[in-house]
Structure 1
Amino acid sequence: MWILLTVCLISAPDTCHEERISWSMEARDSMACLIHAQETIAQWQLTHRHWKIRNWRCVTQRGLSTDI
């Protein structure tokens, strides 16, 4: 399971990219990811203070796009 974040620079809001966080839950357990991902996202935010999270979603390995 992966958490995909769309993040943008606080100082340049039009400068955005995708961050991928590997999340160690069963590949088919998307509901658990949706419920518990917020803690992982909050930890990421603490170490990336210059970035603002615009949105996020949980995806399985199969749903993960190969192009960034």
Structure 2
Amino acid sequence: MIELAFVVCLSASPDTCEDRALQFVDISMTTCAIAAQPQLAQWVGEHPGWTIQRWTCQPIGAGIDA
């Protein structure tokens, strides 16, 4: 399994950040990377007030580098 791991921060308070992830079954890292931008755009549209600071595709549970 692959996850799209990303860090989001509050627009009004850029020092307030959280790690988030979307999980996918039966896709490759390349497919994850290609699909990441529209997935992240959808997430931002559903979570106004948050901005994405960084993202990566990785095996589930690998943890995003700070």
Same fold, judged at TM 0.5 (above): yes
1:10-66 Cα shifts (integer Å, max 9, x gaps): 01000111011112343xx111111111111111010111101001100112x523x
Identity of aligned residues (%): 32
| Runs of 4+, deviation exceeding 6 Å | none
1:7 aligns to what SS in structure 2?
strand
1:17 aligns to what SS in structure 2?
strand
| Structure that is richer in strand per residue | 2
TM-score (norm 2): 0.82
5+ residue gaps, structure 1, are none
Deviation at 1:9, TM superposition (A): 0.4
Structure 1 match to 2:47: 48
Structural mapping, 1:1-68, within 5 Å: 1-26=2-27, 29-61=28-60, 64-65=62-63
Q: What RMSD in Å do the two structures reach over aligned CA positions?
A: 1.4
